């Protein structure tokens, strides 16, 4: 406790960011330190789990010290420790969970395990202090594409999810075959602005009637087939047109499903979360669609879209208020369901 404010330390290590934050009263960010491994994995074209875990081990103590220093607090003043316990890469998760448990035990602080996707949703509470449940949430990231009904801070129901590739994963794979490099999301978003989204028609996959699930593997294959056909025909490929057409096909499906979910549950608020929430085309299309339906749209700043400790601290704070602390026997769960 400092200045009569409840302080939560949030630790996030589910993939390739070592991130630790101090948040006051669940929504006021005092520090948000992120050590990214993107530059390391550019040479690999994606995250290598064992290497990610090793770098978490090397970085986490320094990130912790930097976060406490930036917030101007000590561990004695921390009231709660929150940590991502899943889903994610098991080795990476264990680095964060082990650190959180050691700190909780040594400092005598309560410990709360957080679901990574609830963390992404909670980033919006930080960005929008007025936001309260209930609302509909659309989570788009490298490993997840989910539509979630949020009835309360600790009451979340998955209405739809990906049956194969997550949207961010699909972006990475298409960027690779286009020769754009890793990570694919921001690179495709950038080059797509120079292309024509109607230049190439890629099939939109909506699945069964009224389904809120997603499937992007067929779209990824369609892009690959198109590139192979053009190469065999000796025609030059306009990468900007391919990127723009691919992105439009993705966004048409995502936006329609999100609007369908709001209509189905009569929700007037839609929250966007996850790494792909920073995509400019997605924000533009959702802004337009929500405006037509008089739905309030919320999304976080780009720094809160990526994996970060602040969103975990926020989610931990509200979970603690609702459910109390977890035990020191808490574990990492790579396939944890929401």
pLDDT (mean) for 155-172? 93
Which CATH code fits 132-300?
Answer: 3.30.420.40
For residue 267 the two structure tokens come to: 């929700």
The pLDDT of residue 295: 98
For residue 314 the two structure tokens come to: 């926020």
Higher-pLDDT residue of 95, 165: 95
Residue written as token pair 């970085």: 59
pLDDT (mean) for 246-257? 97
CATH 3.30.420.40 assigned to 7-124+305-323: yes
Read off the pLDDT band of 49 (50, 70, 90).
Answer: confident
Q: How far apart are CA 120 and CA 138, in angstroms?
A: 10
Res 234 pLDDT > 90: yes
Helix/strand/coil for 220: helix
Q: How many residues make up the chain in this entry? A: 338
- pLDDT tens per residue, range 267-303: 999 999 998 888 999 999 999 999 999 999 999 999 9
H or E element in which residue 19 lies: strand 17-24
Helices (H) and strands (E) in the chain, counts: 11, 10
Q: How far apart are CA 330 and CA 66, in angstroms?
A: 26
Res 37 pLDDT > 90: no
Q: How far apart are CA 249 and CA 261, in angstroms?
A: 19
User: Furthest-apart CA pair in the chain: how many Å?
Assistant: 70
The pLDDT of residue 183: 85
State the DSSP code for 36: E
Higher-pLDDT residue of 111, 48: 111
Q: Which of 27-31, 35-39, 100-104, 216-220 has the lowest mean pLDDT?
A: 35-39
Q: Which ranges in the chain are annotated with CATH 3.30.420.40?
A: 7-124+305-323, 132-300
For residue 284 the two structure tokens come to: 């533009």
CA distances (Å), origin 271, targets 51, 112, 278, 286, 313 = 33, 24, 13, 10, 19
The pLDDT of residue 338: 86
Beta carbons of 165 and 214 less than 8 angstroms apart: no
Question: Percent of the chain, pLDDT > 70?
Answer: 100
Residue 96's DSSP bridge partners are: none
Read off the pLDDT band of 78 (50, 70, 90).
Answer: very high
> Considering the entire predicted model, what is its pTM?
0.94
Mean pLDDT, the chain, rounded, equals: 95
């Amino acid at each position: 406790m400092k200045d009569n404010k409840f302080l939560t330390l949030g630790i996030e290590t589910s993939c390739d960011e070592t991130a630790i934050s101090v948040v006051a009263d669940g929504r006021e960010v005092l520090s948000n330190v992120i050590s990214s491994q993107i530059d390391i994995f550019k040479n690999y074209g994606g995250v290598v789990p064992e290497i990610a875990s090793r770098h978490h081990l090397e970085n986490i103590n320094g990130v912790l010290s930097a976060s406490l220093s930036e917030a101007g607090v000590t561990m004695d003043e921390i009231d709660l420790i929150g940590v991502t316990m899943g889903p994610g890469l098991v080795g990476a998760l264990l680095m964060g969970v082990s650190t959180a448990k050691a700190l909780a035990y040594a400092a005598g602080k309560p410990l709360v395990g957080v679901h990574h996707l609830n963390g992404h949703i909670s980033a919006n509470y930080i960005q929008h202090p007025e936001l309260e449940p209930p609302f509909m949430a659309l989570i788009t990231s490298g490993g997840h594409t989910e539509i979630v009904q949020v009835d309360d801070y600790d009451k979340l129901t998955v209405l739809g999810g990906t049956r194969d590739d997550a949207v961010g994963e699909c972006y990475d794979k298409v960027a690779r075959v286009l020769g754009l490099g890793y990570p694919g999301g921001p690179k495709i978003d950038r080059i797509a602005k120079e292309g024509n989204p109607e230049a190439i028609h890629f099939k939109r996959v909506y699945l069964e009637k009224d389904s809120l699930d997603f499937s992007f593997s067929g779209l990824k294959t369609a892009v690959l087939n198109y590139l192979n056909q053009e190469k065999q025909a000796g025609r030059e490929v306009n990468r900007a047109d391919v990127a723009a057409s691919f992105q439009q096909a993705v966004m048409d499906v995502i936006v329609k499903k999100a609007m369908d979910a709001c209509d189905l549950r009569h929700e007037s608020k839609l929250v966007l979360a996850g790494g792909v929430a920073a995509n400019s085309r997605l924000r533009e299309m959702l802004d337009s669609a929500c405006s037509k339906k008089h739905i309030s749209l919320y999304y976080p700043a780009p720094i809160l879209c990526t994996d970060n400790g602040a969103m975990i601290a926020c989610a931990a704070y509200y979970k603690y208020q609702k459910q109390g602390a977890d035990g020191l026997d808490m574990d990492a769960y790579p396939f944890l369901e929401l």
